[in-house]
Chain A
Amino acid sequence: MNQLWVLIFCLLGFACLALGMERPQEDLFGRHLSRRSITWLRIAGWVLLALSLGVTLDQERWAVGLVAWFGYLSAGAGIVFVALVAWNRLRQPDAKAARR
């Protein structure tokens, strides 16, 4: 169960960090978010990643957990990345390619 939380926190953390970046904002909303929301998204992203590390270390076999944490970080970032690509492709496959 512990591991599921680590994955969820990593996923949400990277999702927030992605939303705090310009290119994904253009893709998802067609505009840039306000300075303020970006700051909050970035804070939330880092806090969530820190939480995932906290959950990892708060167990008996923390050494194994720490190794797994790096794996969940990679998986979390990868899933967010694939989701963004898939979202762009499904929404407007050709218009997008033509615009850039």
Chain B
Amino acid sequence: MSSTMSTYSKAKAPGIRQTMSDLHTWTGLLAGWILYAMFLTGTVSYFKDEISQWMRPAVPAQAQVANPAELAPRLVETMSRLAPTSPQWSIGFPDERSPTANAFWRGGKRFESATFDPVTAQPIEVRDTTGGDFFYRFHFQLHYMPVLWGRWIASICAMFMLVAIVSGVITHKKIFVDFFTFRWGKGQRSWLDAHNALSVFGLPFHLMITYTGLVTLMLMLMPWGGDAAFKDRGARQALQNELSAFVPAGKPSGDKAPIAPVADMIRQAQERWGQHGVGRITINNPGDTASRVMVVRADNQRVSVSPQYLLFNGTSGQLLDTKDSVGSAAETRGVMYALHLGRFGDLPLRWLYFLVSLAGTAMVGSGLVMWTVKRRAKLPNPDKPYFGFRLVERLNIASVAGLSVAMVAFFYGNRLLSETLADRKDWEIHVFFMVWGATLLYAMVRPAKRGWIELLWLAAGLLLALPVLNAMTTDRGLWNSLAAGDWVFAGFDLAMIAFAALHAWLAIRTTRHRPKVKPVRKTAAVTDGTAPAPRRLGGVAGGAAAAVAASGAPSGASGSSLSGGTAVSPRSGMPGVEGAR
């Protein structure tokens, strides 16, 4: 950046918009690749439960959601058999998005878990898979590293995102005048219009999701307030009680006593919250006279994840405590957390979350590509771009087109890996990362434009073939699921076909893209004396056409569209990256 700074100091000091534009460009670029992955995997996580269902095809679609009051006694019986000595069970009931009951419990040093049939309450053997939870966890804690590291990296990227959003709004001076503006076929201008549209229309969501994302990890990011205010064990437990419905198991008395009927407890809760308002029950010291049963409210019907529960004596069945509300600060956090997760939404709302979040993904992708589009026009020698430029263009290919390929590969792994493979669920994840790494290698060895086109076609082909593979490996192919009215499976297959079409369209647009051969620039003419080869010229600008549903014909920006009027001023264009000159 030093060269840029010195240019500034010679001229007058840069205005606020220029400074913000620089800030926007560089925060966006540095965090962009991880942000794109976080955004896309986070986006599909709005259908996490549905993806998990698709990845466990042996679990049949549920006709009717079981009543927790009827199911609970059977589950307690099963658990008494499975984990009689455990100090704590937590049992989750099926809901309309997830057809099985589940439980985790403290067994010895670690937690164990099981999945149960929603009618018989017997454990069922399901395909060993992380399901949609993989994308969900990856989007805030990445993988192959300690969970805390991943969360810190994700948080830093989210903070960069917040900076990029605010500086982007300041930079975009004609936010209202240009509200509906899109200029087709204007190269960099079109990219900017598309990037603006994707950002501005979803702005409430983008701001909300970035800020609330940081709020979900606030105790990790800023623990000092809590540390200073809550010093002893009791105070910390009180804090914990405001944040989650978790009461640690107290000391057992050692005397055995049968568990009081849980069905009655659940019915009391249902009177307050409705039949499907109960999310889980937690039983501390089951089978002991000091037993406690906590009936916890589900968070799928309210815009808050703050804990609400009823606490019962586990042997007498007497209601001991009712947790209805938390303090206002805790509730603020609860609401923000819920806004981020979007679990309270019905189907239309979940689709809105998904689509606007997808626009956010395209916003990040178009921003990344725009960095190269803008600089390509100014390359001293387009045949030999400097190192920083090549690095960015290759990373763009792998992080945008490559991620699509890797995510589909994850689903292929789910269907093709042997059911008896040891650590099967880990191998599904290894497949994802191996394929992603392979796309990066591929992007490095191919010419940029070819790299974009070929990986996009690969993604389109794999996406289109996935429903076929599903029909071959399960009896829940598209025709069957449509006929059965199984909208989770049918919806998944149809979504894959739609995404295949999107990738094919992007690939076709990139292929068709023929930039105008622009007049040879002086610097280029001096250094090599030949006109830049059009094919090479089209490389990145052409690939650029891919990431977003927007760009028109010539991206090889004509001189005029580069100057003045653009929100991101060309002055920020001379990067101080290595080898720039």
Q: Which residues of A contact B (CB under 8 A)?
A: 3, 17-18, 21, 23-24, 63-64, 67-68, 70-75, 77-78, 80-81, 84-85, 88-89, 96-97, 100
Q: Is B451 interfacial (CB 8 A cutoff)?
A: no
Q: Which residues of B contact A (CB under 8 A)?
A: 177, 179-186, 197, 200-202, 204-205, 208, 302-303, 339, 342, 344-346, 348-349, 352-353, 355-356, 359, 552-553
Kindly list chain B residues whose C-beta atoms are within 8 Å of the C-beta of A70: 204-205, 208
Q: Is the CB of A78 within 8 A of B339?
A: no
4 smallest beta-carbon distances between A and B, as pairs: A71-B352, A97-B185, A63-B303, A70-B204
Q: Which residue of A lies closest to B176 (CB)?
A: A21
Kindly list chain A residues whose C-beta atoms are within 8 Å of the C-beta of B349: 64, 67-68, 71
Tell me whether chain A's interface is mostly helix, strand or loop, or mixed: helix
Q: Is the CB of B180 within 8 A of A75?
A: no
Kindly list chain B residues whose C-beta atoms are within 8 Å of the C-beta of A75: 352, 355-356
Smallest Cβ distance from A22 to chain B, in angstroms? Answer: 8
Tell me whether chain B's interface is mostly helix, strand or loop, or mixed: loop
Q: Is the CB of A23 within 8 A of B180?
A: yes
Q: Is the CB of B180 within 8 A of A21?
A: yes
Q: Is the CB of A97 within 8 A of B553?
A: yes
Q: Is the CB of A78 within 8 A of B348?
A: no
Q: Which residue of A lies closest to B342 (CB)?
A: A67
- A92 to B302 Cα, complex, angstroms: 49
- A18 to B205 Cα, complex, angstroms: 21
Q: List 26 A-B contacts (CB under 8 A).
A: A18-B180, A21-B177, A21-B179, A24-B180, A63-B302, A63-B303, A64-B344, A64-B346, A64-B349, A67-B339, A67-B349, A68-B348, A70-B204, A73-B204, A77-B179, A78-B201, A81-B182, A81-B197, A85-B182, A88-B184, A96-B184, A97-B185, A97-B186, A97-B552, A100-B183, A100-B186
> A96-B184, A97-B184 given as contacts; is B303 within 8 A of A74 (CB)?
no
Kindly list chain A residues whose C-beta atoms are within 8 Å of the C-beta of B339: 67
Q: Which residue of A lies closest to B189 (CB)?
A: A100
Kindly list chain A residues whose C-beta atoms are within 8 Å of the C-beta of B352: 68, 71-72, 74-75
Q: Is the CB of A81 within 8 A of B180?
A: yes
